[in-house]
């Protein structure tokens, strides 16, 4: 079982798992990720492999983190409901409203499960858009690629923040806290390595983030 595999009992996915960009170096880089994660050294696992293209590395890892959050949230869908979580919050001080800037320009208040559904739909649309995440080897990434990736990671963080603030006791009762913590540590180290999330965005989990980064 891989480091991030959940037992078969909990292999619920929120939506189908995405594969790494196929025509790129995706499969090769995915093998590198799996090998380095298997060593248990997450700080080493997030580093750009020597000689590799930074955008290729960001692309493959973005798919990977999307899948990790997808599986984690999938284990909570029966508990994270519109009744239990009427707003997308991360504790009493932080509430997130949904807007994608295209179909929803003015942020709207939605329940946590609806927010995550909108968010995952939006990320999936970015991952499937070959103008943003090119599938063919040698196809250039767009000039705004890093900005898109930063927005994806900023929003994925909000799912982690909601899980920790609203569902951590359920995660503990499912005996998944070690898995959650490992996934989140990997996520934080990667975003910190490539400066993908502004420090202020991490405020809802600042103590946990600081302990991971040992600031």
State the fold for domain 11-213: Butyryl-CoA Dehydrogenase, subunit A; domain 3 (1.20.140)
Q: How far is CA 8 from the centre of its chain?
A: 21
Quote the CA–CA distance of 57 and 54 in Å, as a whole number.
5
- H-helix or E-strand spanning residue 150: helix 145-173
Residue 199 DSSP code: G
Averaged over successive runs of 10 residues, the pLDDT of the chain (215 residues) comes to: 36 54 56 56 87 91 92 91 95 90 84 94 92 85 96 96 94 89 93 94 94 81
Residue 144: how many CB atoms within 10 A of its CB? 11
Break the chain into its structural domains and give their ranges.
Answer: 11-213
Are the CB atoms for 202 and 157 separated by under 8 Å?
yes
Q: Tell me: the pLDDT tens digits for 132-152?
A: 998 877 789 999 999 999 999
Q: Tell me: the pLDDT tens digits for 51-85?
A: 888 999 999 999 999 999 998 998 898 999 999 99
What pLDDT score does 8 carry?
35
What pLDDT score does 66 carry?
94
Residue corresponding to tokens 């009493």: 92
Q: How far apart are the first and last CA of the chain?
A: 32
What pLDDT score does 107 carry?
86
What pLDDT score does 101 carry?
74
Residue 150: how many CB atoms within 10 A of its CB? 19
What pLDDT score does 10 carry?
42
Q: Which two tokens stand for residue 136?
A: 């063919």
């Amino acid at each position: 079982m891989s480091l991030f595999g959940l037992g078969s009992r909990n292999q619920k996915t929120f939506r189908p798992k995405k594969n790494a960009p196929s025509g790129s170096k995706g499969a090769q880089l995915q093998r590198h990720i799996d090998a380095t994660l298997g060593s248990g050294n997450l700080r080493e696992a997030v580093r750009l492999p020597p000689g590799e293209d930074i955008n290729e590395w960001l692309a493959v890892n973005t798919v990977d983190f999307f899948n990790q959050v997808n599986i984690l949230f999938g284990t909570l869908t029966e508990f994270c409901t519109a009744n239990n979580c009427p707003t997308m919050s991360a504790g009493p001080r932080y509430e997130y409203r949904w807007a994608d800037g295209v179909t929803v320009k003015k942020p709207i208040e939605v329940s946590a499960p609806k927010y995550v559904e909108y968010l995952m739909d939006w990320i999936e649309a970015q991952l499937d858009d070959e103008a943003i995440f090119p599938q063919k080897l040698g196809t250039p990434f767009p000039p705004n690629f890093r900005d898109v990736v930063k927005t994806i990671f900023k929003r994925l963080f909000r799912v982690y923040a909601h899980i920790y603030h609203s569902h951590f006791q359920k995660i503990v009762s499912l005996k998944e806290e070690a898995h959650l913590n490992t996934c989140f540590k990997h996520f934080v180290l990667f975003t910190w390595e490539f400066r993908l999330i502004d420090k202020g965005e991490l405020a809802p989990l600042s103590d946990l983030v600081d302990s991971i980064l040992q600031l």
